[in-house]
Structure formats: C-alpha cells, structure tokens
Amino acid sequence: MPIKAIPYKHQINAFNFVCMLFGLITGKANSAGAALLMEMGTGKTITTIAVIGALYLAGFIKRVVIVAPLSIVGVWLEEFQKFADFDYTAIILEGSTSKKTDTLRHMTGSSLQVIIVNYESAWRLEEELLRFNADIIVADEGHKIKTHNAKQSKAVHKLGAKARYKMLLTGTVITNKAIDVFSQYKFINPAIFGQSFYVFRNKYFDMVGYGNHTPILKRSMEQDLTDKLHSIAFRTTKAECLDLPETTDIIRFVELEAAAANIYKDLVKDSFAELSKGEVTVTNVLTRLLRLSQLTGGFIGDDNSVVTGVSTAKLEALSDIIDEAINEDKKLVVIARFVAEIKAIEKMLQKKKLQYSLIMGGVKDREEQVSQFQNNPKVQVFVGQIATAGLGITLTAANTMVFYSLDYSMSNFEQTKARIHRVGQKENCTYIYLTAKGTVDEKVLKALRNKADLARTLVDDYKSGSNPFAVRGGESNEQ
C-alpha cells in the first residue's frame, strides 16, 4: 500500500480485495469496478488513495476524478497530502464554471493528475469531465447516486462508462430500500445487475401497495441479489474492526463563505483593537472570543442581542454527515454550544423528516429524551447543548459524536465525550470536530485536546505582541 501510514488489517484486506478485482494481484481483472462498503471511521479514503497509488505505480492510470459531497471535497485534498506516498498533482474544481473548465484543461504533467469535484458540479461539467478522460472515477458517499434517473446519477454513470476503473465508497449500498443498489452498481459494473432499471426491478421485486408503486424484494431472489452485490464489494463494520483504537478523532474542516469570512476577519481586527483599549484580562479575552466562535457556527449577534445568520458552512457539512449515518442505519450524537445553532440543526432535521431527541436549556423531560434515543430505532439523532447535555446521561446507542461547536471548558469537553464512550458501549467511538478553517475553532480545539488553559494561552499571546484571535498554520493538526 503506497501510503505514509501503517494501515489497519481491515484496510489491507480491502486494498487487496480491490487490487485482486482490478488484476493488480492476479494479473486477470475480474471487474472494472469495486465497492468499499466501509462504515464511517473505518478508513475508506485512505484505502482508496492506496488503490489509486498502486494503479498509478503499475502504469495503469494517469488521470483520476473523485466525485464527493461538497463538504467532503476538502477532506480528499487533505488526505492525499497526508497519506499519498507517490507523485501526484491534486486540485479541487471550484469557482465559476469557466474557472473549473480552465483548470481541467490545464491538468497536465507526468505525475498522477487528480481532480476532486462535488456532485452538483459534476453533472453541470459533465462534458468537460468526459473530455478530461479519467482512467478511474471514484464516487464517494455513493448513496448520492442511488436514484437512477437523477441528474447527478446520470452524469456519474456516463463518467464511469468511459473510465477504465470505478470505485464506489459508502457505508452500505442498501439504505431503506434494496432497489437503491441498481443505480450504484450501474456505475461500478453494469454487468452485475444490467443496464435497465425496469428489467432489474421486475426480476428482483414485486410491486405492491396502492397503485403498485412500492417495490418489495422477492424472497426467492434475496440470495441472488446478496451474492451479486458482494461479488465486487468489500464490506466491513466498525464492530468488526478489532484493531481500531478505542476512540478516533476526525477534524472535518469547513470553509466559511467569502462574505462570512470577510465579516470574521473584520471582527478579528476589531477584537484585537478593543483589547488594546483597556486591561487585558481573561474575561475580556474570552468575551471577544465568544463572538468569533459564534460566527464560525454561522451566526452573529449585535449589541441588542439580535442574532443573524451569516453562514451555513457547518450546517451543510453536518447535513452530509447525518446523511451518511442514516444511510448506514447508525445513530448519531450532535453537540453544539449556541442556541441559534441548535435551532438551525433542528430545522434541518425536520426538513429531512428525521426524528430526534433534544437536551438543551429549558428542556424538562431529559430522561424521556434520552430513553427515546437509546431505545427507539426511529429516533436516530440526538442533539445536545454542551453545557446541559454533558452530565448524567448515557448515549451508547451511538458510537459517533459530532462537535458542531465547542465551549472553552475542559470539564465539559471530557464529560460530553464520555456520553458515548462508557460502560455499555460495544463499539469503538469516533469524534468528528467541525472546524472552520483559519479561525479560532482551531485554537479552541487544540487547547482542549492538549488539555491547555485556553484563556491563559490567549492572554500570553497578546502580551507577547501577537493577535490572540489570529490563527497560525496547523493549529489543530494531529498531535
């Protein structure tokens, strides 16, 4: 595996499985496409980078297109920089359509050329991407193409039809409906279930219910569907990965929109200027830090306590994480600091028609909220305010916790993490930190993970002549 890391056993097995299908190990390709059905936190991305590197070093590929949800495209660039142990050039397609097109046309060179693009842009740039002539197409979070006649599905199908290799990454190809496998397998290998959705549907499903619109998998065809599905898929769950550490931290960086980033920069300057006018105390520093933290979560308050939304960057990233968890039929805990953030998260969950439990200031039926999350399969998300949901509750029905935002208390941080990592938890735990890149989010997270006194650190920064709210490169890198 050409990566700058020691892989886990399940990642080696996944790598070998795909390399076998592609003919890198046996010399004879069994399939032009492969699916990595690996749950969140088990390392789909690093395994895929290793496969891409192996294909490149063997002389089989020169051009790569990775299609991913918007909030994850940056993750791919970071993971390539961190793990790829081979010569490559990688770039995210962003900006105007003309800029994206120009970027594609200038992707040349002797190294592996890697294009990372979001699903929305992929179908809009379909012709340009086809002309790029990629040797391998990777569809990350493959459930995004589960609807066979959606625009983004059709575009990815066309890209896959032209490429020599295809990889689909997702927790599971079957969400609530087994019929979802057709579109995803049409992309990676149409020989498995055919090119026609209706032929596939008639073979494997009975149409029942009012108007015969509900597909029910025929019992006589269950084994056939399962066998074909797994013939080109490597499946692993977090529970099966016995070599994973007990807890894993994932920093998911998000980029503030241009307008929000400008507001943030102005606030950093103003906060520094205000400090210089009076005595620099822990209280003064933390008061100004509070407004900056609130802004990275998408909101800003004025002097009259009127809160205005200025960014949806974190909300969109969380939406993709929730989709991934629901696709894997997994429960998820989401922790946020500010009321405005929680209200926005609630609104998003309601729009998705998802049932959820909630504990924040003012919620009286705490025990009932916890019980519903722990015991009701339909309640798949728990939303908690870090100051009120960090003590006295057990949330072991989930093994993944997303920190939408953080407060500055080490005690709150540790206590909140312990809600899922405690007696009764049967699986390893994953913590995802939504972090606005280049903001105080990085300073706060670094201090909490290093068990440092954040306030004292900021005061010391100021006394040494630095702007305590400005971020140097790599604040929250893995320690």
Give me the torsion for CA of 380, 250, 267, 407, rounded to 10°. 60
Which regions of the chain carry the CATH code 3.40.50.10810? 9-240
In what helix (H) or strand (E) does residue 430 lie, and over which residues does it extend?
strand 429-436
Indicate left, alpha or beta for 174 from its phi (over 0: left) and psi (-120 to 50: alpha).
beta
For residues 258 and 39, give the distance between their C-alpha atoms in angstroms, rounded to a whole number. 33
Q: State percent of the chain over pLDDT 90.
A: 68
Q: What is the pLDDT of residues 61-116, one digit of tens each?
A: 999 999 999 889 999 999 999 999 999 999 999 988 899 999 998 888 889 999 99
The pLDDT value recorded for residue 175 is 63
Which 3 state secondary structure label does DSSP give 300?
strand
247-255+309-463 maps to which CATH number?
A: 3.40.50.300
| CB-CB contact of 59 with 192 (8 Å) | no
For residues 220 and 215, give the distance between their C-alpha atoms in angstroms, rounded to a whole number. 14
- Pairing assessment for the beta strands 205-208 and 136-140 based on DSSP bridges: unpaired
Beta bridge partners of 114: 64, 90
For residues 61 and 46, give the distance between their C-alpha atoms in angstroms, rounded to a whole number. 18
For the purposes of burial, counting CB atoms within 10 Å of the CB of 242, is it exposed (0-12), middle (13-18) or buried (19 or more)? Answer: exposed
**pLDDT over 80 at 49, yes or no:** yes
For residues 241 and 39, give the distance between their C-alpha atoms in angstroms, rounded to a whole number. 10
**pLDDT over 50 at 7, yes or no:** yes
- Regarding the domain with residue range 9-240, which homologous superfamily does it belong to in the CATH classification? Tandem AAA-ATPase domain (3.40.50.10810)
Q: What is the pLDDT of residues 237-291, one digit of tens each?
A: 888 887 888 889 999 999 999 999 999 999 999 988 888 787 788 888 888 899 9
Q: What is the pLDDT of residues 163-178, one digit of tens each?
A: 999 999 998 877 668 8
Which regions of the chain carry the CATH code 3.40.50.300? 247-255+309-463
Confidence class of residue 478 from pLDDT cuts 50, 70 and 90?
very low
The mean pLDDT value for 208-222 works out to 87
Indicate left, alpha or beta for 424 from its phi (over 0: left) and psi (-120 to 50: alpha).
left
Beta bridge partners of 309: 299
Determine which of 8-17, 111-120, 465-474 has the lowest per-residue pLDDT on average.
465-474
